[in-house]
């Protein structure tokens, strides 16, 4: 097995774990939120839907910035999130689209030690970018599993707090 084959296999396994964590999550459960301690920020609003949207945006931005000359920009992702809003079905579709984009963005690579741009403006080797996104899927799968087992479904969609997140990325290259 080549290193690229191993990275692809690990990425597929991580995404499978993420999708498994999402199995059975209804829209009312996806809307439920944890309460943050004051001044805490986790790149989401503390809901499963917020985490799913965050993962999708990260997949687009890591793939676009790293391997596709920033053809997708942060502002494109935010326009899409605002259009999706609190729709659970559309959020899951966006995650699937992002995952397909992510896999395709690095599929043709042959030199995994070559440095590529990271969305924060630094350079990372391809293997590190790919590994980071793979770990990101598993990390958030664990969060989702905990939230799904402890939160109760709610009848009102949450405030997605897009403005708060936008504030953190507007200064990044690729806005």
Integer Rg of the chain from CA: 16
Backbone angles phi, psi at 127, to 5 degrees: -60, -35
**Rounded distance between C-alpha atoms, residue 63 and residue 111, angstroms:** 16
Q: With bands split at pLDDT 50, 70 and 90, how would you rate the model's confidence at 168?
A: confident
Domains, the chain, in order of start with CATH, read: 43-169 (1.20.120)
122 CB contacts (<8 Å, ≥6 apart)? none
Helix axis angle for 48-67 and 3-22, nearest 10°, is 160
The mean pLDDT of 162-169, rounded to a whole number, is 88
Q: What are 67-106's pLDDT values in tens digits?
A: 999 999 999 999 999 999 999 999 999 999 999 999 999 9
Q: Write down the pTM of the prediction.
A: 0.96
Q: b/e string for 35-66 if b means 16 or more Cβ within 10 A?
A: eeeeeeeebbbbbbbbbbbbbbbbbbbbbbbb
Q: What percent of the chain has pLDDT over 90?
A: 91
Mean pLDDT of the chain: 96
Q: What are 23-49's pLDDT values in tens digits?
A: 999 999 999 999 888 888 778 999 999
Helix axis angle for 162-169 and 74-84, nearest 10°, is 180
């Amino acid at each position: 097995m080549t290193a690229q084959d191993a990275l692809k296999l690990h990425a597929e396994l991580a995404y499978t774990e993420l999708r498994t964590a999402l199995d059975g999550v209804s829209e009312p459960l996806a809307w439920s939120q944890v309460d943050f301690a004051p001044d805490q920020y986790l790149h989401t609003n503390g809901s499963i839907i917020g985490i799913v949207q965050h993962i999708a945006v990260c997949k687009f931005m890591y793939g676009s910035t790293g391997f596709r000359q920033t053809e997708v920009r942060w502002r494109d992702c935010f326009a899409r999130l605002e259009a999706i809003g609190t729709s659970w079905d559309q959020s899951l579709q966006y995650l699937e689209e992002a995952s397909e984009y992510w896999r395709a963005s690095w599929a043709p690579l042959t030199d995994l030690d070559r440095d590529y741009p990271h969305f924060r403006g630094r350079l990372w080797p391809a293997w590190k970018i790919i590994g980071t996104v793979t770990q990101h899927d598993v990390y958030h799968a664990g969060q989702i599993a905990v939230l799904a087992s402890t939160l109760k479904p709610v009848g009102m969609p949450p405030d997605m707090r897009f403005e708060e997140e936008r504030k953190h990325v507007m200064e990044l290259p690729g806005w």
